[in-house]
Structure 1
Amino acid sequence: MPEHRISYSVHEAAKAAGIGLTKLREEIRAKRLVARKLGKRTLINADDLNAWAANLPRIDDARRAA
């Protein structure tokens, strides 16, 4: 049975998204990616990570903005 994660640590979320830890933390600070706290741990819900990725600019939109 495949594993279905509902949340990730910051390191796991960065790996799952294919981005670096610095960029992930930047997205959290900019409030573009929702992070939650459980004690000292920072967690990223899988739904929030997917929503963040879905809201990234399309490549054709990014080229027009440049």
Structure 2
Amino acid sequence: MEPLCCSVLDAAKSIGVSRATIYNWMKEGRIETSRVGGRRLVKIASIRRLAEAA
């Protein structure tokens, strides 16, 4: 089974952008996230959609 979410750092590394860019995209609603405890996780499906649209 493939993971559904990843950390902000892993999301940034996977598409070659900075963490700040990921946080900006989160604010803009371009990528979906979830909060688990105090941790923010990025939904991998939203990263894929964003990469495919580029």
TM score, norm. by length of structure 1: 0.70
Partner of 2:25: 27
Q: Identity over aligned residues, as a percent? A: 20
Structure 1 gaps, min length 5: 57-66
RMSD over aligned Cα, in angstroms? 1.5
The structure carrying a bigger strand percent of its residues is: 2
Structure 2 gaps, min length 5: none
Alignment of 1:7-46 (within 5 A): 7-46=5-44
Higher relative contact order (CA 8 A, sep 6+): 2
TM score, norm. by length of structure 2: 0.83
Runs ≥4 residues deviating over 6 A: none
